[in-house]
Amino acid sequence: MHELLLFASVPAHQHHELLQQLAGLTAMQPRHRLERRVIYKAYRKPGLINTRVGASQDLQGHDMQRLNKMLNGGMFYTQVVGPVSEADFGAQSPSEDPDAPMSGTDAEEGSGNHLYNYENQPWKLEFRDIPEAGTRSAVTSRLMASASLPKGDISTPMNAWGYSYVTEYAVEGDAFILNDIVIFLHRVLHYPTEQESHAPRRQLPPFQQMSPLERTGSYVLQASITVQDGGNQEMMRTASQHLFGLREQLKSAVRLEQADRLSLDTRAK
Partner 1 sequence: MSENFSLPLRPLVEKPERPDSLPVEIAQINAQYGSFRDVTEESLRAKIEADKNKDPWSEEDDGEKELSDEDTAERLDQLYKKRAAITQFALQAHMETSFALDFISLLLSKNTPVQAEMSMSPYLKQVAPLGSLNAEVIHPPPKTEAAVNDTKSVARGWRLQNFNSAANKLLDSATRLESAVESETKYWNEVLAVKAKGWKVCRLPRERQALGVQYGFLEATPMFRDRGLAALRRTNDGSLLLDKGLIPLKARTVRVRVKSHGQLTGCSKRRPTTEDADSTESRILQARDTVYEEELFHELVREARILGSQGVTTRQNLVRFPVSEEQEVLLDLVDDGHELLADDEPTSHEHDPVADALAHSVRILLAYAHRQNLRRRTQPPPPLSPKRRQTPEYQLLRPVMAYLQHSSHVRWLESLLNDVNQVLKSAGLTSDFTCTPFSSLNFKRFNSSVPKVEALVQEFLLPYESTFSGKLVCPQSSFRTKVRTNVVTPPFGTHYDISVNVPQYPEIRPPNRIGLQDEAAWVLTHFVLLDILTAICQVKATGDKKKEGLLTWQAAYPHDGELMAVSSTGQCRKMKVSLSRHELTVDVYAIREIDAFRRPAATKTSTIRSHTWKLGDAAGQPSLEDFVAEVSKP
Which parts of this chain interact with partner 1 (CB under 8 A)? Answer: 1, 27-28, 31, 175, 177, 179-182, 225-229, 232, 234-235, 238-239
- Name residue 142's amino acid: R
Comparing CB distances to partner 1, the nearer of 3 and 172 is 3
Distance, in Å, from the CA atom of 263 to the CA atom of 130, rounded to the nearest integer, reads 9
Comparing CB distances to partner 1, the nearer of 159 and 238 is 238
Smallest distance from partner 1 to CB 228, Å: 4
Comparing CB distances to partner 1, the nearer of 28 and 49 is 28
Smallest distance from partner 1 to CB 260, Å: 25
Among residues 126, 128, 164, 163, which one has the least CA distance to residue 147? 126
Residues 6 or more apart whose CB falls under 8 angstroms from that of 87 comprise 111, 114
The alpha helices in 79-141, defined as continuous H runs, are: 104-111
Distance, in Å, from the CA atom of 269 to the CA atom of 264, rounded to the nearest integer, reads 14
Comparing CB distances to partner 1, the nearer of 229 and 260 is 229
Smallest distance from partner 1 to CB 75, Å: 26
Smallest distance from partner 1 to CB 235, Å: 6
Smallest distance from partner 1 to CB 41, Å: 27
177: number of Cβ within 10 Å: 12
Residues 6 or more apart whose CB falls under 8 angstroms from that of 136 comprise none
Residues 6 or more apart whose CB falls under 8 angstroms from that of 132 comprise 141, 142, 143
Comparing CB distances to partner 1, the nearer of 30 and 206 is 30
